Structure 1
Amino acid sequence: IGTRLVAEQHIALHHSSQAHAGPPGPESYIGVIDTELQPASVINACGNFVSEICELKYGVRPTWVIDGDPNTKFAYVPVHLEYIITELLKNAFRATVESGNSSRPIVITIAAEPPDEEDATDTMLDNRLASLPVAAGPPGVTIRIRDEGGGISPAVMPSVWSYSFTTFEDGDDIPGAATGAERSGMDALNAIASGGGVNSSIAGLGYGLPLSRTYAEYFGGGIAVQSLYGWGCDVYLRLKGIGKL
């Protein structure tokens, strides 16, 4: 993650500094970092994408509702957030549909963290942060994704953070993957490489949740799952704003 991020940031900054680079990008961007990233916009875009996959697979499109503080903005890498939200929504949408509760919306709550008390009492620090382009947003954002998809079995719960662990059995839905005993780690890697766009699967590889947590933890955040077996799940995604590290 780090190597790719540094490379992409360098390329983006270099490209934006060239006279022949074409029309400038959004003013809120510094390289690949959006200093005014709005999680609600990312959630809606990812929700539309995942709902299309659900419609192709199941014939229904789950809905979602955003509450809390949908106008929150903070500094973060949009590509990272898009990947995390997409994977979390895949899990929530799939569980909701397969449990027969597709008419029940997934409730997504956005909460901006209040300023740190130490920052609020340090006038000199406030003045320094005010001069930085990434200092305007909250120090972090927490996103809760709540579904009524039946929850996670206690027998399965210890394995949800394991790479390659999946409860999905339909190998035909995994682009380029083998089935049954023939399926290997290389099949999964090939599927990841070719699984974008219209060929994306709603589930099956077992990489989405642990890799999403790795992305969240890279900037000091994290993911926690609370399951009420027989009812549904709450997934908490905590993100630390890049300007507040």
Structure 2
Amino acid sequence: MAAKKKLQESFSKFLIEEVRRWSMMRQTGVSLKYMMDFGSRPSERNLLLSAQFLHKELPIRIARRAVELENLPYGLSLKHAVLTVRDWYLDSFRDLRSFPEIKDSKDELAFTQMINKIKVRHNNVVPAMAMGIKQLKNDLGRKVEPGDLPEIHQFLDRFYLSRIGIRMLIGQHVALHEPNPSPGQVGQIWTNLSPIEVAKNAAEDARSICLREYGSAPEVQIYGDPNFTFPYVPTHLHLMVFELVKNSLRAVAEMFINSDKEAPPVRIIVADGIEDVTIKISDEGGGIPRSGLPRIFTYLYSTANTALDEHSTADEVTMAGYGYGLPISRLYARYFGGDLQIISMEGYGTDAYLHLSRLGDSQEPLP
């Protein structure tokens, strides 16, 4: 009951009713292509239209998540970490709803600064929610199997997918104000992104973490056309490739740690199809048993010993975190119409297939 009381104490009855009303409104999805076309002309008028759209759209998306955070099963809504996240969402909703109508470029600039603060406020949502899930698992006091708690998995998929969308919309609007964008840069989107370049950078970052954890790191070999480019968000692509390469390096490093044989390389292959750009990441790290495959996309399971506490932040990248890398990477892929598949040969290795839609015209999937 204390948590419910806290909600009434911290937030006015009017605000709570307002949140419930806005959570019933219809969301409006946008496509990568639309963001690109719209943002390629960041005129005062376009920035004003964008701000007016966000002024109405963001409260709807944030209200939906705030209401869900209030009504989670197994007492998850009452966990301290989840209450903190809920309060961030309610604060952000209040900030957006109390912002007056946006009529000119002065209003638009003030609105842009405000939504950027909202984005920063929500930086640590993922580790905070992971902390809440960890508290729930401790309370259940039993081993949680992959098929357990399906409602929690479905909620987290919706919640994180929505978070990707909210951060993309805010980040895109804020980035359109950058004074000197690089050639081909439209806000957060690069119209001529080289997947080979992103793969190189992601592989270097993953290898440096592997070196730190294991004292050595397998080689990463990259194959594909170095001149091929397509429109995509580099931060999203880096996050996904980094996660997959990191997992492969870890599997190989652990398999060969006490071996006198040289560790085999991890291979990245970039294929340029008509519909999809596909990035395959292959390793010879022993693979995953078939019984373990259902676990890899769950939020309640991690093979790593996680050192997660109240003070963990999103910036603390470790070799194996709180088991969220794969499910969240798959959501990033799906956000713009792609997907992520893992195929494993136990006793040999694993292939990850990252499919990215190169048409850019699929709508955001709105939970």
Q: TM-score by structure 1 length?
A: 0.75
Displacement of 1:61 after TM fit?
A: 1.8
Matched, 1:151 2:311: no
Identity percentage of aligned residues? 39
Q: How many residues of Structure 1 are paired with residues of Structure 2 in the alignment? A: 195
Q: Distance in 2 between matches of 1:112 and 1:244?
A: 17
Aligned partner of 1:65 in structure 2 is 221
Aligned partner of 2:265 in structure 1 is 105
CA, structure 1 residues 221+155, in 2 after alignment: closer, same or farther (shift >3 Å)? same
Name structure 1 gaps, 5 residues minimum.
115-138, 179-186
Aligned partner of 1:236 in structure 2 is 353
Which of these residues, 193, 204, 210, is aligned with residue 48 of structure 1? 204
Displacement of 1:158 after TM fit?
A: 1.3
Tell me, yes or no, if the aligned pair for 2:196 and 2:224 is still in contact at 8 Å.
Answer: no
Displacement of 1:244 after TM fit?
A: 4.6
Aligned partner of 1:224 in structure 2 is 341
* Structure with the largest fraction of strand: 1
Aligned partner of 2:165 in structure 1 is 2
Matched, 1:74 2:74: no
* Structure with the largest fraction of helix: 2
Displacement of 1:68 after TM fit?
A: 3.2
CA, structure 1 residues 243+29, in 2 after alignment: closer, same or farther (shift >3 Å)? same
Q: Distance in 1 between matches of 2:167 and 2:294?
A: 31
Q: Distance in 1 between matches of 2:333 and 2:360?
A: 15
Aligned partner of 2:276 in structure 1 is 140
Q: Secondary structure at the match of 1:163?
A: coil
Which of these residues, 322, 332, 338, is aligned with residue 205 of structure 1? 322
Q: Deviations over 1:182-207 (max 9, x none)?
A: xxxxx5xx535241xxxx21003100
Q: Secondary structure at the match of 1:227?
A: strand
Q: Deviations over 1:101-128 (max 9, x none)?
A: 76211111110112xxxxxxxxxxxxxx
Q: Distance in 2 between matches of 1:94 and 1:141?
A: 25
Higher relative contact order (CA 8 A, sep 6+): 1
Larger Rg: 2
Q: Secondary structure at the match of 2:291?
A: coil
Q: Distance in 1 between matches of 2:286 and 2:357?
A: 30
Name structure 2 gaps, 5 residues minimum.
1-163, 363-367
Q: TM-score by structure 2 length?
A: 0.51
